[in-house]
């Protein structure tokens, strides 16, 4: 019977990892606000921020295309179009001391359309062929631009009055420096991007949220602060490009299934170890049989479960996905005696964790029925165990690769000893198991 996990074992990332998604974007937002508020910038920075949006569109867009990130390309393009049109108005105001005749219409229209297009492209994931996807996105941008241009050319005053009108007097506040409809557009965009981030926490989705806040801060300051437009648009575009780079790094160094650092990250760390360290190789017992019995989806959840417990290892240890059903625990600056209690604690935590399996064709209709079934033991319970082999650097094992080989030998010994146990490379043949459990 094909089964699925009834108990939630998919929550493998702690809250602080989600907060880290914002760490690259928030400093850029804060730096942009500080730079825009400065009474004056040097000629170098003024020139830099004048050319940075164009450079980010060209170089950042090319970088995003290399990784097949079409939506980031169009996010950058939508931001640049808004920047370009507003920059024309700001330059005229700065050079002549007065705004252009169409300034109010252009400003209100961009303030309304920019957050809507930003949210649309931000939530529009890549799903189809690259060329087809880019064509669809370009068609939407051209259609919106054509409709906006046509309406403003035919009914300029009517559109301007409608945009500036207070449609809901009871909801209008004295603090509102933009048209009322603009705040509605930002609210809808914020809700859409927030839902997207909560469903799929990623650095890119976090950067989109922070960038939207930057746009909301920037727009009322466009004609007030001399450098607000150039600085904040540059920062928001930089956030998006940096988020793509962050995710590219994760693709290379972090295992997508479990969220643990992957084999490449382990190899990088092994090159920076000191003289003393311990390596533990971890293997899920009977994983192939479990996978064949319950299905690959449940097998993936089992790997996430094991990874989630390994991530909690204490004693300065760090967990890595080695490959397949194998994991690695690394303890820099530790001995086997210092590491074993923490390794054993993880082994026991995995052994004692119970997972409930149920038939997806016979799912409960509501929470009440689900509780009754669980109370009545309607769902079958299974548990997972792991075998571990531990080795530390010795005089005869000078490289991390040699220590890993010793840990692998100890792992095979743990498998031969009945599984669900820990074997040390220093144990002699026939020694008792360091830690045993249910086989």
Measured distance CA(15)–CA(51) in Å, rounded: 38
* H or E, element range at 358: strand 354-358
Instruction: Answer yes or no: is pLDDT of 367 > 70.
Output: no
Instruction: Answer yes or no: is pLDDT of 278 > 80.
Output: yes
* Size of the chain in residues: 439
Structure tokens at 165: 């009108």
Structure tokens at 238: 């930089």
Pairs from 109-113 (Cβ < 8 Å, separation ≥ 24): 109/148, 109/152, 109/159, 109/163, 110/82, 110/85, 110/86, 111/178, 111/179, 111/182, 111/185, 111/219, 112/163, 112/179, 112/181, 112/182, 112/185, 113/82, 113/144, 113/148, 113/185
Q: What value does the mean pLDDT take over residues 50-54?
A: 94
Residue (of 348, 416, 411, 417) closest to 383 by Cα position: 348
Alpha helical stretches, state H, 155-281: 156-164, 180-199, 203-218, 228-253, 263-270
Q: What percent of the chain has pLDDT over 90?
A: 46
Q: What value does the mean pLDDT take over residues 339-362?
A: 80
Look at residue 211 in the predicted model and tell me its pLDDT.
96
Compute φ and ψ for 329, nearest 5 degrees: -110, 130
Measured distance CA(438)–CA(246) in Å, rounded: 42
Would you give the distance in Å from CA 213 to the centre of its chain?
18
Q: What value does the mean pLDDT take over residues 336-362?
A: 81
Q: Are 392 and 274 in contact (CB under 8 A)?
A: no
Residue by residue, DSSP assigns 166-192 as -S-GGG--TT--S-HHHHHHHHHHHHH
Annotated catalytic residue, options 72, 325, 351, 406: 325
> Is 325 assigned a catalytic role?
yes
Look at residue 249 in the predicted model and tell me its pLDDT.
82
Q: What is the tens place of the pLDDT at every residue in 66-113?
A: 888 888 999 999 999 999 999 999 999 888 888 888 889 999 999 999
Q: What is the tens place of the pLDDT at every residue in 156-215?
A: 888 888 888 888 888 887 788 898 999 999 999 999 999 999 998 889 999 999 999 999
Q: Are 384 and 305 in contact (CB under 8 A)?
A: yes
- Which pTM does this prediction carry? 0.70
Q: What is the tens place of the pLDDT at every residue in 120-172?
A: 999 998 776 778 888 899 999 999 999 999 998 898 888 888 888 888 888 88
pLDDT confidence band for 366 (50 / 70 / 90): low
What one-character DSSP code corresponds to residue 386? E
Range of lowest pLDDT (13-27, 184-198, 242-256): 13-27
Look at residue 417 in the predicted model and tell me its pLDDT.
87
């Amino acid at each position: 019977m094909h089964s699925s996990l009834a108990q939630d074992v998919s929550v493998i990332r702690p809250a602080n990892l989600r907060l880290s998604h914002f760490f690259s974007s928030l400093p850029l937002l804060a730096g942009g606000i500080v730079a825009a508020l400065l009474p004056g910038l040097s000629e170098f920075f003024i020139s830099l921020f004048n050319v940075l949006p164009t450079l980010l569109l060209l170089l950042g867009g090319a970088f995003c295309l290399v990784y097949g990130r079409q939506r980031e390309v169009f996010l950058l393009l939508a931001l640049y179009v808004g920047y370009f049109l507003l920059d024309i108005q700001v330059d005229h105001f700065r050079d002549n001391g007065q705004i252009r005749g169409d300034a109010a219409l252009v400003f209100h229209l961009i303030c309304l359309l920019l957050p809507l297009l930003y949210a649309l492209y931000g939530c529009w994931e890549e799903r189809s062929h690259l060329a087809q996807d880019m064509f669809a996105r370009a068609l939407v941008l051209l259609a919106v631009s054509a409709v906006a241009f046509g309406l403003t050319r035919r009914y300029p005053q009517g559109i301007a009055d409608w945009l500036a009108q207070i449609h809901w007097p009871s909801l209008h506040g004295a603090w509102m420096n933009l048209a009322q409809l603009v705040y509605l557009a930002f609210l809808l965009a914020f809700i859409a991007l927030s839902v997207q981030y909560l469903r799929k926490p990623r650095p890119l989705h976090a950067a989109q949220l922070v960038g939207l806040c930057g746009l909301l801060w920037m727009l009322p300051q466009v004609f007030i602060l001399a450098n607000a437009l150039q600085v904040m648009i540059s920062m928001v575009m930089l956030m998006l490009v940096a988020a793509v780079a962050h995710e590219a790094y994760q693709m290379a160094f972090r295992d997508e299934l479990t969220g643990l650092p992957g084999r490449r990250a382990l190899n990088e760390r092994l090159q920076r170890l000191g003289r003393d360290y311990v390596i533990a190789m971890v293997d899920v017992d009977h994983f192939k049989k479990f996978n064949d019995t319950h299905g690959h989806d449940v097998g993936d959840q089992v790997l996430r479960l094991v990874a989630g417990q390994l991530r909690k290892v204490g004693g300065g240890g760090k967990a890595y996905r080695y490959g397949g059903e194998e994991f690695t625990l690394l303890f820099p600056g530790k001995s086997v005696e210092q590491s074993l209690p923490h390794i054993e604690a993880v082994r026991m935590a995995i052994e004692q964790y119970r997972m409930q399996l149920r038939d997806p064709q016979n799912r409960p209709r509501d929470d009440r029925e689900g509780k009754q079934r669980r109370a009545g033991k309607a769902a079958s319970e299974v548990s997972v165990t792991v075998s571990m082999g531990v080795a530390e650097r010795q005089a005869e094992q000078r490289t991390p690769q040699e220590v890993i080989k010793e840990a692998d030998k100890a792992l095979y010994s743990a498998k031969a000893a009945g599984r669900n146990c820990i074997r040390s490379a220093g144990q002699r043949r026939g020694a008792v198991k360091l830690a045993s459990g249910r086989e």
